[in-house]
């Protein structure tokens, strides 16, 4: 399989940070295919980075190396990690960014040892581990010159996950807004499976001042009407047809999203 590396960051595209990371990868592995998963994670938004990485990596073939850099703790004592999960490799800081990926009991996790950086001839600044650590280590993993077993000692994450799990109880699921996409759609951390586990036959999604039954498509709402659905990533989402649901409802990352059973008609 050709060497495939994805990049997920909060760097945006106005500055050269992403380009520099790509240059580092290509200098070590000219034949690499680099895919920008996203560089639009809101600055320092670990929950959004964790969510998009966890729901998106499965679109890529096994063996892909995913380099993820949302790193407000850069330059501190926080560790740099490499993980293997679901047949993929992940290179990221130890700040919860890998989140649900490590819940798989078959996953493996190692700390990138200082000796590994020295062996690769890397020097490290205090403010750009994306360039100095994560990109070159990702390139060496993709090239097959560095094995997970040689990265460093086995580890457990200091921060288990930046994305909290939804809380499930009979006929109720409590979650949070994990991501607000560029359309203003409100994407929760509630997977569709949680509704089944809570025995919700007619789910009612509650966020802000809205209480919404589930629709199947965006087209089921009229202009500027709100709707709730299970989105293409299998999570509960609230949208506004031809509008921005998050801004209109005053919803931000971390706002509560609750799903309950729709009351029978004629009850309050």
218-232 per-position pLDDT tens digit? 999 999 999 999 999
Token pair listed for 196: 């089944």
Return the percentage of the chain with pLDDT > 70, whole number: 99
Mean pLDDT calculated for residue range 180-198: 98
How far is it, in rounded angstroms, from Cα 164 to Cα 159?
A: 11
47-104 per-position pLDDT tens digit? 999 999 999 999 999 999 999 999 999 999 999 999 999 999 999 999 999 999 998 8
Mean pLDDT calculated for residue range 194-213: 97
**pLDDT value for 103:** 87
How far is it, in rounded angstroms, from Cα 177 to Cα 101?
A: 19
- Asked whether 153 and 178 are in contact (CB, 8 A), the reply is no
Q: At which residue do the structure tokens 């034949």 appear?
A: 31
Query: At 47, is the secondary structure helix, strand, or coil?
Result: helix
**pLDDT value for 160:** 84
46-58 per-position pLDDT tens digit? 999 999 999 999 9
114-155 per-position pLDDT tens digit? 999 999 999 999 999 999 999 999 999 999 999 999 999 999
Residue 76 CB-density burial (10 A; 0-12 exposed, 13-18 middle, 19+ buried): exposed
Mean pLDDT calculated for residue range 184-200: 98
- Asked whether 162 and 49 are in contact (CB, 8 A), the reply is yes
Token pair listed for 107: 């996953």
**pLDDT value for 157:** 83
Per CATH, the number for 4-150 is: 3.40.50.10790
**pLDDT value for 268:** 57
- Does the pLDDT value for residue 216 go beyond 90? yes
Phi/psi at 69 (nearest 5 deg)? -135, 95
Four-way CATH pick for 167-261: 2.40.30.10, 2.130.10.10, 2.160.10.10, 2.40.30.90: 2.40.30.90
Mean pLDDT calculated for residue range 22-32: 98
- Does the pLDDT value for residue 267 go beyond 80? no
Q: At which residue do the structure tokens 């020295």 appear?
A: 118
- Does the pLDDT value for residue 266 go beyond 80? no
How far is it, in rounded angstroms, from Cα 169 to Cα 32?
A: 46
How far is it, in rounded angstroms, from Cα 255 to Cα 239?
A: 15
35-44 per-position pLDDT tens digit? 999 999 999 9
Q: Taking the domains of the chain in order of start, what are their residue ranges? A: 4-150, 167-261
**pLDDT value for 158:** 83
The residue count of the chain comes to 268
Token pair listed for 233: 């990533």
């Amino acid at each position: 399989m050709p060497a495939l590396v994805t990049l997920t960051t909060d760097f945006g595209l106005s500055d050269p940070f992403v380009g520099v990371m790509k240059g580092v990868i290509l200098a070590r592995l000219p034949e690499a295919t680099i895919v920008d998963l996203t560089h639009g994670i809101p600055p320092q938004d670990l929950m959004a980075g964790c969510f998009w990485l966890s729901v998106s990596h499965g679109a890529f073939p096994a063996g892909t190396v995913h380099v993820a850099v949302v790193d407000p703790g850069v330059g501190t004592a926080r560790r740099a990690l490499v993980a293997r999960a679901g047949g993929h490799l992940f290179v990221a800081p130890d700040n919860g960014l890998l989140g649900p990926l490590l819940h798989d009991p078959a996953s493996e996790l190692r700390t990138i040892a200082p000796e590994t950086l020295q062996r690769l001839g890397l020097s490290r600044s205090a403010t750009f581990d994306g360039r100095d650590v994560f990109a070159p280590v990702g390139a060496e993993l993709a090239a097959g010159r560095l094995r997970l077993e040689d990265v460093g000692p086995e580890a457990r994450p200091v921060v288990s996950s930046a994305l909290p799990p939804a809380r499930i109880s009979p006929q109720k699921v409590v979650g949070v807004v994990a991501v607000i996409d560029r359309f203003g759609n409100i994407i929760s951390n509630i997977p569709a499976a949680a509704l089944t586990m809570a025995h919700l036959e007619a789910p009612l999604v509650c966020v802000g001042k809205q209480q919404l039954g589930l629709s199947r498509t965006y087209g089921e709402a009229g202009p500027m009407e709100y709707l709730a659905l299970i989105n293409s990533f299998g999570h509960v989402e609230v949208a506004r047809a031809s509008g921005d649901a998050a801004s209109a409802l005053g919803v931000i990352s971390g706002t509560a999203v609750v799903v309950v059973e729709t009351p029978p008609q004629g009850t309050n």
